Chains A and B, each alone.
Chain A
Amino acid sequence: MQPVNVPPRRDPAPSRLAYRAHRIWLRPMVRRFVKKGLPLLAVLGLVGWWFAQDANREMLSDKYAAIRSDIENRPEFRVNLMAIDGASDSISADIREIVPLDFPVSSFALDLEGIRDRIAELDAVRDVDVRIRSGGVLQIEITERVPAAVWRVGRDLELLDGQGHRVAVLASRLERPDLPLLAGAGAQDAVPEALALLQAASPVKARIRGLVRIGERRWDLILDRNQRIMLPENGAVSALEQAMALEQAQDVMARDISVLDMRIPSRPTVRMTPQAVENMRQIKADRHGADR
């Protein structure tokens, strides 16, 4: 018999253990686990262990914040001044007041939407465009509301634009004598109609004092000498044109009347002044003296 425990020399045979290990290694699951799963687990474990320590987490967040502020404070992202275009001085002063920025400021810190909304809330601003221009300029482009009329509310005067939106408060009528005067509650809701009426009333332009909104539903055109043209609720412009036609044909408004009532356009009515009535009675009495 051969010696039991002495292995023959130069035997290429794998040991039992090596053979088993090789066979286990040849299992696809095992191989996949060792090749992919184990490295993944190791990496995950290391990362988890690192993050498990408070100091590390703190360091990471500090580092992150530092890098972030570093980048934000670079000169490329710095905003140095604010340029406001298309606004009058008073409005730009208002804007500078409601957008308080102490320059230089990082462009990351600017809330452009918020700035835009705040500026758009101003009465005098119809449209606003806020952007950061190259060169570190906060560019604010303003489209102002153009005042079209003066509205008297109680004792105050307000400027209204063509749509009836408030533009500003007026201290004195003398500041804007070029604009027509509106009055009465609810006048701001019918500004376009008022402007159209004023357009239509061009024959008596020189005599116009203003327009009064009556009962929040219809307009009265006020001329000098306390004359008044009462207009209907609907079709005011055409009624006024009719009145102007009367005026041009018969010089109605030049006569001594106090009110031309056009509220029923098919039946214009004239109210004379008391003086005129007296005069007319006098004339009639003279003519028909015998009748007295």
Chain B
Amino acid sequence: MTDLYATQRAMRSMRNAALQRGVIAILDVGSSKIACLILRFDGPDHFRESDGIGTLAGQSSFRVIGAATTRSRGVRFGEIDAMAETERAIRTAVQAAQKMADVRVDHVIAALSGGGPRSYGLAGEVDLMDSTVHEHDVGRVLAACDVPDIGRGREPLHAQPVNFSLDHRTGLGDPRGQIGNKLAVDLHLLAVDTAVLENLLVCLKRCDLELAGLASSAYVSGISALVEDEQELGAACIDMGGGTTGLSIFIKKHMIYADSVRLGGDHVTLDIAKGLQVPLSTAERIKTLHGGVVATGMDDREMIEIGGDSGDWDRDRRTVSRAELIGIMRPRVEEILEEVRSCLDAAGFEHLPSQQIVLTGGASQIPGLDRLAPKILGQQVRIGRPLRVQGLPQAATGAAFASVVGLCLFAAHPQDEWWDFEIPSERNSARSFRRAVKWFKENW
């Protein structure tokens, strides 16, 4: 645990170093595409005087100066499957973005969608030494949380304090300086597979990049696709990606739950390829050009040329009606949404005051999804597009870039996590004392 604390703190200091240099790269390693943005920071609080606090969601301090997307290779379900391939894909994206920005980047903030994220709710309680809450008290109460068994080979990716309670008062955003006797905290911990993380780290290291931060892509697409009051009142963001569908629930501007379904747009493509007996690239093209999930009478008559280059005339001239295509796609999309629904149910989403659901990600662009989704997820569903970020090219403003844009916001203003607070000193000192004793024993 302390190891993790150290690595996360190292990443934070790396991020600060990157902000000092003013250039940082954003890398989203997804199953269908790898996107790289390069942000230029004008220095922290550069526009603070003129903007006041929080205007433009605090993102006026950076602008995107380089953007590149490449087809993802060697990534399945948001996890690295063939490392050399992935490395090449990352190199492609990073080099193109660097070329566009005409600047070299050394620090990268990455998002990953796979790794089977699981949420844990932690609670900690501590008696205050004097009646005022200090910074180290927050660290103490965070350290007092009893860590659940997150399983072997798993590691926390996020550990965010979502709620502070002081005596009988709860729902405090920032308890520092307040008067009380007993401080309690609710911590949201998101754990992912260590192996997945490490694969990504190795990949980035092989690209000569230093990791300045890691985030779950479900979380960051929630940051960018949910508007502020949705985050405040309670909403779920469903990031329908290529290999996985991420799910994050926000309330009071904190993520309280995240999960992912290992189903995504690639499975729809696969179904089409199987059902129509076409290669995957053709299936992808048919899906994006003609796909849909709600059939109408018109669709029976709209014939789609499947094509092919087998040399067999009969095979190469096949056509299907759009209704058939929809017939293939719809069950799979329904399955994805059903899975998401069951995840939401498991998370207790129905207890939230507001049950807004926002669909985003590349697969959310299927025509007709806005009519299919309410049947499964409930009435409050909308298709979300990411926030507009300064300097982002038009090609990268679609729903498929929700997690990239969210990662930009995360890079600019990361939420306080457990490792942002000082570890309580008594723990530290006890250990170092023990180490000193041990050293004496060994040497005399």
Q: Is B282 an interface residue (CB 8 A)?
A: no
Q: Are B91 and A14 in contact (CB under 8 A)?
A: yes
Q: By the criterion of a CB under 8 Å from any partner CB, how many residues of chain B are at the interface?
A: 17
Grouping DSSP codes into helix (H, G, I), strand (E, B) and loop, the A interface class, with mixed when no group exceeds half, is loop
Q: Does A40 contact B (CB under 8 A)?
A: no
How far, in whole Å, are A23 and B209 apart by their CA atoms in the complex? 11
CA distance in complex: A18, B95 (Å): 9
- Taking the closest CB of chain A, its distance from the CB of B99, in whole angstroms, is 7
> Residues of B contacting A13 with CB < 8 Å?
70, 88-89, 91-92
Inter-chain CA distance A22–B99, complex, in Å, is: 8
Total CB contacts across the A-B interface at under 8 A:
35
- The CA-CA distance from A11 to B86 in the complex, in Å, is 12
Give Cα distance in the complex from A263 to B104, angstroms: 107
Among B85, B92, B95, B104, which residue has its beta carbon within 8 angstroms of that of A27?
Answer: B104
Which residues of chain A from 13 to 41 have a CB within 8 Å of any chain B CB? 13-14, 16, 18-20, 22-23, 26-27
The answer, yes or no, to whether B207 is at the interface (CB within 8 Å) is yes
Complex interface: chain A residues within 8 A of B98 (CB): 22-23, 26
Docked Cα-Cα span, A65 to B70, in Å, equals 67
Residues in A whose Cβ lies below 8 Å from that of B85: 2, 8
Asked if B102 is at the interface of the complex by the 8 Å CB criterion, the answer is yes
- Known A-B contacts A20-B208, A26-B103; A14 and B95 likewise in contact (beta carbons under 8 Å): yes
Give the CA-CA distance A22 to B95 in the complex, in Å. 8
CA–CA, A140 to B73, complex, Å? 95
In the complex, A12 has a CB within 8 A of chain B: yes
CA distance in complex: A26, B95 (Å)? 10
Contact residues in B for A14 (Cβ distance below 8 Å): 91-92, 95
Scoring B85, B91, B99 by chain A CB atoms within 10 A of each residue's CB, the highest score goes to B91
Inter-subunit contact B104/A26 (CB<8 Å): yes
Residue B4 CB within 8 A of the other chain:
no
Nearest residue in A to B207 (C-beta to C-beta)?
A19
Within 8 A of B (CB), among A187-203: none
Residues of chain B in range 62-111 having any CB-CB distance to chain A below 8 Å = 70, 73, 82, 85, 88-89, 91-92, 94-95, 98-99, 102-104
Shortest Cβ distance from A256 into chain B, in angstroms? Answer: 119
Closest chain A CB from B88 CB (angstroms): 3
Q: Nearest-CB distance from B27 to chain A (Å)? A: 14
- The CA-CA distance from A95 to B99 in the complex, in Å, is 81
What residues of chain B lie closer than 8 Å to A11, measured between beta carbons?
73, 88
Kindly list chain A residues whose C-beta atoms are within 8 Å of the C-beta of B102: 26
* CB closest residue in chain B, given A7: B88
Distance between A9 CB and nearest chain B CB, rounded to angstroms: 12
B95 neighbours in A (Cβ, 8 Å): 14, 18-19, 22
Least CB distance, B104 to chain A, in whole angstroms: 4
* A67–B309 CA distance with the chains assembled, in angstroms: 78
- Whether A23 and B208, one on each chain, are in contact in the complex, defined by CB atoms closer than 8 angstroms, is yes
Q: Which residues of B contact A27 (CB under 8 A)?
A: 104
Expressed in whole angstroms, the minimum distance between the Cβ of A15 and any Cβ of chain B is 8
Q: How far, in whole Å, are A58 and B70 apart by their CA atoms in the complex?
A: 63
Q: Measuring CB to CB, which residues of chain B are less than 8 angstroms from any residue of chain A?
A: 70, 73, 82, 85, 88-89, 91-92, 94-95, 98-99, 102-104, 207-208
Question: 8 additional contacts, CB 8 Å, given A2-B82, A13-B89?
Answer: A8-B73, A11-B73, A11-B88, A12-B70, A13-B91, A14-B95, A18-B95, A26-B102
Closest 10 CB pairs of A and B: A13-B88, A26-B104, A13-B92, A19-B91, A14-B95, A23-B104, A22-B95, A13-B91, A19-B95, A14-B91
